[in-house]
Amino acid sequence: MSFSPLVDELVDALRCLPGVGQKTAQRMAFHLLEKGRTGGTRLADALGSAMIGVQRCERCQNFADASECGICQDRARNTGTICVVESPSDLLAIEQAGDYRGGYFVLMGHLSPIDGVGPADIGIERLIERIDAEHTRELILATNPTVEGEATAHYIADRLDGRNVLITRLAHGIPVGGELGYVDGFTLTHAFRGRKPLLD
């Protein structure tokens, strides 16, 4: 059933969001039109401003309102360490943990030859140029523990072979509070390979 061209266009536009199908998009559209017109107008304004004003940081590829993001502008951070992540949401998770104080490089994806995503598409050359220019001492590969994430981490490590850079990988394993009986085999394998002495 079709309501009106404007309603249909709104529903169709909302479907671009991840996890939003036809029914969810209709519920969102009807809510905004029935009870949330003020919020809808604010959403439209914020969305329009963000689509025009948000760009990529020239240094780390994170989202930014200026040529450099706030993290890259913070001179108190350790510039000798770069943490490589796949997405801005990964960066945000690390920042919210509050322990890391180095720099970042956001790939905005991972290598995926089957999808046509190669090194140039995720900025690996830019990362290597930055490592050379800033004399980076440690590169932390914090790509996701998926097949693509692992392949991306190994590709970056191979490209940096011969350079005087310590390359580390985030530990993967059993979550705090987890029980072995509920952990998948892939995670257990990583946990065994990454084991370390109890008393350092």
Q: Which residues of the chain fall below pLDDT 50?
A: none
Cα separation, 100 vs 95, in Å, equals 7
Domain boundaries, the chain: 5-53, 66-169
Provide the pLDDT for residue 1: 61
Pick 66-169's CATH classification: 3.40.50.620, 3.40.1360.10, 1.10.443.10, 3.50.7.10: 3.40.1360.10
Provide the pLDDT for residue 115: 92
Provide the pLDDT for residue 200: 56
Provide the pLDDT for residue 192: 79
Residue in 104, 94, 111, 87 with CA at minimum distance from that of residue 140: 104
Provide the pLDDT for residue 197: 73
pTM given for the model: 0.82
Provide the pLDDT for residue 179: 77
Contacts of 152 (CB under 8 A, 6+ apart): 86, 107, 110, 111, 122, 143
Provide the pLDDT for residue 198: 66
The terminus-to-terminus CA distance of the chain in angstroms comes to 67
Pick 5-53's CATH classification: 1.10.8.420, 3.40.50.450, 1.10.10.10, 2.40.37.10: 1.10.8.420
User: Is residue 174 a contact partner of residue 180, using CB atoms and an 8 Å limit?
Assistant: yes
